[in-house]
Amino acid sequence: MTSVTVPAAEGRAVDVASGQRIRITTPRGHQAADFFAYNAADVSEWLSPMHTWVTTRSVKPRPGDQFLSRYRRPMLTIVEDTAAGCHDMLIAACDQKRYEQFGFEGHHRSCSENLAGAMQARGHVVAVTPQPVNFFTNTLVDPEGALLSPPNPVAPGAYVEMEALMDLICIVSSCPFDLKVEGWTINAPGGVSELEVSVA
C-alpha cells in the first residue's frame, strides 16, 4: 500500500493501476479535495464530470457510479463514501485569477497550480485544467438553477474510495480556498487542512 499525505493547500500525484483502489480522507473534516485523473498511457484522456453526469444523470457522484473520461470511457468506480454524498462536480478549479477576482493581492496557491505542479514533476504540461471532482465540497442547485455553497458539514475522518478501471495518474489537491466570501463557504472556518491518500 502507498500512503501519501497531501499537506494543506498543496497537491500530490499518485499512480493507481487498473484494479487498485484509491482512498481519499479528510482527517480533520471539512476539507475540499479537488480530484483529477488521467489515463497513464495517454494524458490527453482525463476524467470529465460533464461526460460523467450525462451518463449517471446525477451531478452528484454516488457509490456505484463510474467516472468517465472526456472520451466517454470508464476510469473509476466509486466503491465507498462515508461523507454522505457531500461532493461537488460543478465548481471549476480555483486559480490565481479567481483569488484576484475576490480582491486578493499577490500570489495565492490554487488547485490549478497544484495540478500543474504535480503533473510537471512527471514531465507533463497541463495546457487545459480539467473540471475537477471536488470531494468533501458542499454545493446545491436550487429549483431555479441557483448554485449554492453552504457551509461544509463533512466530519473528520470521512473518506471516499474508488477502484481504477484503467492505469491512472490521479492528482489530489487540498483546496487552498480560505477567503471569507458571503454565501460561498468551501472549507472549515478553522482553515485549510491536509488530506490523506492511500492506494492499495
Beta bridge partners of 184: 149
Q: Which stretch binds its own copies (CB under 8 A): 75-83, 125-133, 160-168, 188-196?
A: 125-133
Cα 85 to Cα 8, 88, 154, 174, 192: the distances in Å are 22, 9, 10, 18, 21
Segment 145 to 164, residues that bind its own copies, using CB under 8 A: 145-148
Segment 179 to 198, residues that bind its own copies, using CB under 8 A: 183-184
CA–CA dist 146, 22 (Å, integer): 32
Number of residues that bind its own copies (CB under 8 A): 36
Question: Closer to its own copies at the Cβ: 16 or 93?
Answer: 93
Question: Is the CA virtual torsion 190, 34, 62, 165 positive or negative?
Answer: negative
Type of residue at 189:
P
Q: How far is the CB of 59 from its own copies (least distance, A)?
A: 5
Sole binder of its own copies in the list 4, 17, 54, 121 (CB under 8 A): 54
Decide: residue 76, CB within 10 A, 0-12 exposed, 13-18 middle, 19+ buried: buried
Cα 63 to Cα 84, 163, 185: the distances in Å are 10, 11, 25
Q: How far is the CB of 61 from its own copies (least distance, A)?
A: 9
Binding mask 69-108 for its own copies (x = CB under 8 A): -xxx------------x----xxx--x-xx--x-------
Which positions touch its own copies (CB under 8 A)?
Answer: 44, 48, 50-51, 53-55, 57-60, 70-72, 85, 90-92, 95, 97-98, 101, 127-129, 131, 140-141, 143-148, 183-184
